[in-house]
Amino acid sequence: MNARARETYTRGIPGPLVGFNMLIEARTVNELTEREVAMHRIANRDNTTFQRLLESRRILADLRTRLAAEERERVAAANDLQAQVAKLAEVRRVRAEAKRRLDARVQLLRREADQLAADSARIAAIIRRQEAAARARAQAIANREAAASARAGRRNRRTGEGGGLSSSGLRWPASCGLTSGFGARWGRMHEGIDLGCPSGTSVRAARGGVVLAAGWGGGYGKLVLIGHGDGLVTAYGHNSRLLVSAGQSVERGQVIAASGSTGHSTGPHVHFEVRVGGVPRNPLAYLP
């Protein structure tokens, strides 16, 4: 069609008059008929070519529309992927921070356990040094308390009341919930139990006896050791304040300290130990 347009332009004949000129230039009827047939063929071919052009343009427009839609989908998918990558990065950051905090707490607990294990030997040495001198006084107190317990037991049997004491004569050092038991912890031996008491809670002697030591106990913080005269010693650690001194006689239930978080401690609590012959035993076996 472009070629025909150029030919019409160069010959100087307007497009609509081309067919008319072809007809009037015919010299015979046969030539006229042939030219008319040729004109119809040319017209049909032009119409077919034009329709193909229109279809090609329609297909091209459709392809462009589909391409634009696919481009929008690609951009949306890219944005969604970028948002997911950012969300994943945030999740990884939060997890890394949580792991860092957990690792730091584990390290802190391990250091506390290591220090307590080292200080345990010091407590055993203190017990050995002090218990012999305090044994006589503690035994006398134990005898008095045993007699009092016997009387209370007879009275309780008559009245049906309970005494709040174990068979070993011990009472709980504080009215707080158990937060950590006796046994292996963080690869070390936890040689007592922990009671989750707020700072300043009254800590009471589990049984009457003589204070073997009252002072700084390293990882135990402010520590009280009480000898009970029969090879049994109780320990009270991490106190904020001590209310007794070494050599002092104490009665069962007497306030000996205020709870705290001194020494290697992750928070306020009472660390309570029971030792027999210097060997740590599970306090729960000696408490009511």
Residue 252's identity, in one-letter code, is: R
Instruction: Give the pLDDT score at 156.
Output: 42
Instruction: Give the pLDDT score at 66.
Output: 92
Confidence band for 43, pLDDT divided at 50, 70 and 90 = confident
Which is the CATH superfamily of the domain at 109-131+167-285? Glucose Permease (Domain IIA) (2.70.70.10)
Instruction: Give the pLDDT score at 163.
Output: 41
Q: Are 197 and 287 in contact (CB under 8 A)?
A: no
Residues 6+ apart with CB under 8 A from 236: 173, 203, 223, 224, 226, 256, 257, 270, 271, 272
Residue 208 has pLDDT above 50, yes or no: yes
Give tens-digit pLDDT for 181-207: 998 876 678 889 999 999 999 999 999
Looking up tokens 């690792």 gives 103
Q: How far apart are CA 180 and CA 182, in angstroms?
A: 7
Residue 162 has pLDDT above 60, yes or no: no
Q: Are 177 and 196 in contact (CB under 8 A)?
A: yes
pLDDT (average), residues 17-26: 62
Instruction: Give the pLDDT score at 41.
Output: 84
* Least-confidence region, from 22-26, 67-71, 254-258: 22-26
**Domain positions in the chain:** 2-70, 109-131+167-285
* Least-confidence region, from 36-50, 126-140, 205-219, 239-253: 126-140
Threshold 0.75, pTM exceeds = no
Q: Beta strands 255-259 and 202-204: pairing type?
A: antiparallel
